[in-house]
Chain A
Amino acid sequence: MEQLMMVLIGILVSVATYLILSRNMIRVIIGTAVLSHAVNLLIMAVGGLKKGNVPLIGHEEEPFTDALPQALILTAIVISFATTALLLVLAYRTYKTSGSDDFKELRGMPDE
């Protein structure tokens, strides 16, 4: 199962890289969102997908699932949610003031 996950993560990372390298603002932002999903899956996969009991005192005898990756992913999701929201607002405002969503046209003057 982990191997399958790794292939999926690889595909997601390549998609994200492709999107981030494009010139269109929205595609770049979607690329960062896909990348953060890939990373979340990676954290899940390295934590191990084994089935086990809940990690509670009183269940020490049975093998239990590592709960930490879930906590990490939850934090990472919240953070990427906030940054993506901010990015979208910034992109919208930039588009409004500059009149362009193409990064090539947003390079700026050499020494302003």
Chain B
Amino acid sequence: MNNIIVLPLIIPIFSAVVLVFLRRFAAVQRLIAFASMLAVSIISFVLLELVRKEGILKLDFGGWKPPYGILFVADSFSVLMVLAASIVTLFCLLYAFSTIGDRHESMFFYSFVLLMVAGVNGSFLTGDIFNLFVCFEVMLMASYVLVALGGEKVQLRESLKYVLINVVASSVFLIALAYLYGTVKTLNMAHIAERVSEVGQDPILTLVSLVLLIVFSLKAGLVLFFWLPGSYVVPPAAVQALFAALLTKVGVYALIRTFTLMFPHHPETTHAILGCFAGLTIVLGCLGALSSRNVLKIAAYNIVISVGFILIGLAVRTETALAGSVFYLFHDMVAKALLFLLVGMMVYLTGEKRIDFMSGLIRNYPLFGWLYFLAMLALVGIPPLSGFVGKVLIGKGAIEAGSYVLLFLGFASSLVVLFSLLKIFLSSFFGETIITNEDKKPLPKASMASLVSLAVCIAGIGMGAEQLLAYVQDAVKTLANPSIYIDAILSDSDSEGV
């Protein structure tokens, strides 16, 4: 009856397999990929409404009652993430149609994008921590190929490093899972949470949680982001935008889930470390964003800053701050995708990556220039746009908890974000144009459509914050009270004995 939960995973996988057989028909590939992502977006929206009406939904695969089987869980937080991921993928695909090129299309580009989205959606929806590992791997495996696809020298070089770092991280993840299983003898996240709270979070479990913290930090780019600027700037723009919007955010989601549901009992250790990590990430990300003059690198360091900023909310762990984190996470997925698509379009139009070699783009492409301006305002957090509400809530939460250092770092980082993006705007969009009318490349129509749609989404999230907050509050209610989640999963299996 809750079979709808599995559709965000099944539809992309199924379409991806079908697309493999349609290698020569680019138009059909585009149509199927776009249609399946549109379907997933609509389904996740329906699911969101359903969860708000009926509470947490779950689907036990094969009818195995928890804690024995693997299950998918849809609570407001996970479904919000699925919704954002699906919408972003939809528009990134639209962007890719006109920019990706025949070579990528005939090498199963759309299949890999869909497989990656399947892994991302699976990671958001799963209720079993080993299944989380498997979904991570599905997502990563597709992303490995997407980084390397194209086969340029720099792509291969960076992809090798990216793959190796993630393989080692996956091994560490498995080590953490092994110890976790050895200690609590279960892998169901709700069941782990219940057992951890029953026996108390002893030092071994805290250690396990810290190993998980390291693993997810690596995936999210929290402190351990050294791999991120290198590997995120080499693939084509549409892939960069997908990576920026989805991959690090899955790590952030996993961190929030782990430290609100399973290991919330020793905040003086775990959340203090998270706070330090968040602060450090913001400072290091800001240094990176300020020092670079390569548009792609600046955008990549902006991902790092926002990851740090989102995790302030988890570190101070008041309900307001968590609401801010969830809201900001949702906003950031859309806004970062837009930023990367815009930056990618700049590189496509001028053929340059350094801001010193671009000038006066706004004279040639007025709408494009103002879209960049809008994205910049949203990322900085100017009121009617989407970044504002999240920033205010995280700030309010930090004040409630008295974490003034994190508060200062968070808002100082907004200024750095503004400065780094304004640097691009002033030197690349203003000034004398360097492109003559004869050399002017036309803007691809589908790409412009996707940029405009994402900009509309950002404005929509900002204007409709009131409606979105209703879902966010529902998500936070579950995050702040793990017992709601645990009861929803385990309630009907207690009678059978565990």
Contact = CB atoms under 8 A, between A and B. Distances in A.
Given A42-B175, A46-B182, A111 B157 contact: no
Contact of B160 (A76, A94, A111): A94
B178 interface: yes
A72 B141 contact: no
B191 to A, nearest CB: 13
A54 interface: no
Interface string A70-112: 0010011001101100110011011001100000001010011
Is chain A's interface secondary structure helix, strand, loop, or mixed overall? helix
A42 B159 CA distance: 29
Contacts of B293: 111
Interface stretch (B166-174, B246-254, B268-276, B320-328): B166-174
B297 A111 contact: yes
B181 interface: yes
B174 A111 contact: no
A35 B182 CA distance: 19
Interface string A24-42: 0100110010011011001
B156 A86 contact: no
Size range of the interface on B?
35 or more
Interface stretch (B110-118, B147-155, B209-217, B479-487): B147-155
Contacts of B175: 39, 42
Size range of the interface on A?
20 to 34
Nearest to A41: B178
A94 B163 contact: no
A6 to B, nearest CB: 11
A111 B164 contact: no
A86 B239 CA distance: 19
B25 to A, nearest CB: 26
Interface of B: 130, 134, 137, 141, 144-145, 148, 151-154, 156-161, 163-164, 167-168, 170-171, 174-175, 177-179, 181-182, 187, 230, 292-294, 297, 354
12 contacts: A20-B164, A20-B168, A36-B167, A36-B174, A87-B164, A91-B160, A93-B151, A106-B161, A108-B154, A108-B230, A111-B293, A111-B297
